[in-house]
Amino acid sequence: MPDRSMTQLDGVNSGLGGLMARLRTGLPGGHLGLTTLLAALLLAFSLFVPDFLSAATLQSFMYQLPLLGLLSLAMVVPLITGGLNLAIIATTNQCALLMVWIMQTMISADAGAGTTAGVIMLALVAGLVLCLVIGLITGTLVAYTGVHPILVTLGTKSLIDGISIYLTRGMALSGIPEVFTRAGSVTFFGVPLIFIVLIAMAILIGIILKRTAFGISCFMIGSNIQATRYSTIDTRRVLVGVYTMSSLTCFIAALVMLVTFNSASADYAQSYLLVTILAAVLGGVDPFGGFGTVGGLATHGPLNTCADHRGVLASHILHRSRLGRPKSGDCPWTRPPSQTAPRSRKPSSTRRQA
């Protein structure tokens, strides 16, 4: 009997070990198709678009990815628990609006460097606190009311958007100090600072999900919340932490938005909401929760950027089919700005006589 009990216990431990390994790695083969599609798109662009595979193109990608990547990271964690956070765009915009308003109203034209730095720090703290409060309220509503996260976050999204539009009258706010916006153009060995921030946040969230008890609890809640609750895990506290973590990621996205656009508005990045869900799902996150990794976003980000330039690819294919493969200097997308200016129209030889 003891030997049989030990055999059963070993079988249970082996099964749990396999389940935990699957939770950490995500769905099997989830990234192979995306990697193949990305390679095919890169090959197509390199064949039809002159100078596509260049350092300038790579740097352009690294400037375009951070905002969408950070918003996708804010969506990943709620998706893993079987929920959604539809308020990530509204939270990011309101956080950015609050920070710009503080900088705009408290920094005068003759303000010194110390005063400017102090106001910027105050604005950052205010934006962080705002995102923290929004995350705590959203997580508490999801955890303690029993209402589906889609309905809760849709309501908070509408409320946040309504407040932002009412206070700004739908106008964009500008007036960010140059010392702050300069961070958007800082590079390290050709790599933009905002892209380094995206990589750091992806690594941090990936470690939290894979190597902490909180992260494993998120996967367990997404797989079966009732069984997780019977496993003496405080699912309500975990859910509050999930939506708080999502909103805090929106704070980083708001910083990237400010240094990228040099302004803030309630209408910015509204089209990104469904794209973030698509990025997470295509990146290997199960839309019903329980499985997924952050690593899939690293593949879907460049894939989505390539897809956004499909019009350029189509134009080059048409241009090549009519005139042959264009040279680098003959393409308006690769010409210097001075060569892309419209030519002056010659005066007509036949003018209407007075």
Q: What is the DSSP string of 148-182?
A: -HHHHHHHHHHHHHHHHHHHHTT--B----HHHHG
On the question of pLDDT at 98 being above 70, the answer is yes
Select the more confidently predicted residue: 255 or 107.
255
Distance CA 306, CA 299 (A): 11
| Model pLDDT, residue 325 | 46
Select the more confidently predicted residue: 59 or 155.
155
Q: How would residue 303 be classed by pLDDT, with cut points 50, 70 and 90?
A: low
Rank 61-70, 135-144, 230-239 by mean pLDDT and report only the highest: 135-144
Residue 278 is encoded by which pair of tokens? 């698509």
Average pLDDT over residues 206-222: 91
Distance CA 298, CA 212 (A): 21
**Burial category of 210 from C-beta neighbours within 10 Å (exposed 0-12, middle 13-18, buried 19 and up):** middle
Are residues 93 and 247 in contact, defined by beta-carbon separation less than 8 angstroms?
no
Are residues 229 and 294 in contact, defined by beta-carbon separation less than 8 angstroms?
no
Q: What does the DSSP 8-state code read for residue 35?
A: H
Average pLDDT over residues 43-67: 75
Select the more confidently predicted residue: 65 or 353.
65
CA within 13 Å, CB half, 291:
14
pLDDT in tens, 260-281: 888 899 999 888 898 888 888 8
On the question of pLDDT at 38 being above 70, the answer is no
Select the more confidently predicted residue: 222 or 312.
222
| Model pLDDT, residue 16 | 47
Q: What is the 3-state secondary structure (H, E, C) of 266-301?
A: CCCCCCHHHHHHHHHHHCCCCCCCCCCCCHHHHHHH
Q: Contacts for 283-287 with beta carbons within 8 Å, 24 or more apart? A: 283/30, 283/31, 283/34, 283/72, 283/76, 284/26, 284/27, 284/30, 284/31, 285/26, 285/76, 285/79, 285/80, 286/27, 286/79, 286/80, 286/222, 287/79
| Model pLDDT, residue 326 | 46
Angstrom CA distances, 76 to 155, 247, 281, 322, stand at: 20, 12, 9, 45
Distance CA 104, CA 177 (A): 8
Average pLDDT over residues 192-212: 91
Helices (H), 26-112: 32-48, 55-80, 88-106
Predicted TM-score (pTM) of this structure: 0.75
Domains and CATH numbers, the chain: 56-317 (1.10.3470)
Distance CA 160, CA 69 (A): 22
- Above pLDDT 70, what percent of the chain? 71
Average pLDDT over residues 198-226: 91
Scanning the structure block, which residue is given the tokens 């241009």?
A: 319
| Model pLDDT, residue 163 | 94
Ranges assigned E (strand) in 168-220: 187-188, 191-192
In sequence order, the β-bridge partners of residue 219 are none
What average pLDDT is seen over the chain? 78
SS3 content of the chain, % helix, strand, coil (to 5): 70, 0, 25
Average pLDDT over residues 43-48: 72
Are residues 80 and 245 in contact, defined by beta-carbon separation less than 8 angstroms?
no
| Model pLDDT, residue 174 | 86
| Model pLDDT, residue 78 | 93
| Model pLDDT, residue 254 | 94
| Model pLDDT, residue 37 | 67
On the question of pLDDT at 345 being above 50, the answer is no
The sign of the torsion formed by the CA atoms of 87, 89, 93, 96 equals positive
pLDDT in tens, 281-297: 877 788 888 887 787 66
pLDDT in tens, 167-195: 998 899 988 888 888 888 888 888 889 99
| Model pLDDT, residue 182 | 85
Is residue 352 classed as helix, strand or coil in its secondary structure?
coil
Distance CA 217, CA 245 (A): 14
| Model pLDDT, residue 3 | 54
Phi, psi of 96 (to 5 degrees): -65, -40
Are residues 87 and 134 in contact, defined by beta-carbon separation less than 8 angstroms?
yes
On the question of pLDDT at 328 being above 90, the answer is no
pLDDT in tens, 130-171: 999 999 999 999 999 989 999 999 999 999 999 999 999 889
Select the more confidently predicted residue: 333 or 82.
82
| Model pLDDT, residue 19 | 47
Average pLDDT over residues 340-349: 43
Average pLDDT over residues 87-110: 91
- Contacts of residue 136, defined as CB under 8 A and 6 or more positions apart, other chains included, come to 240, 243, 244
| Model pLDDT, residue 123 | 93
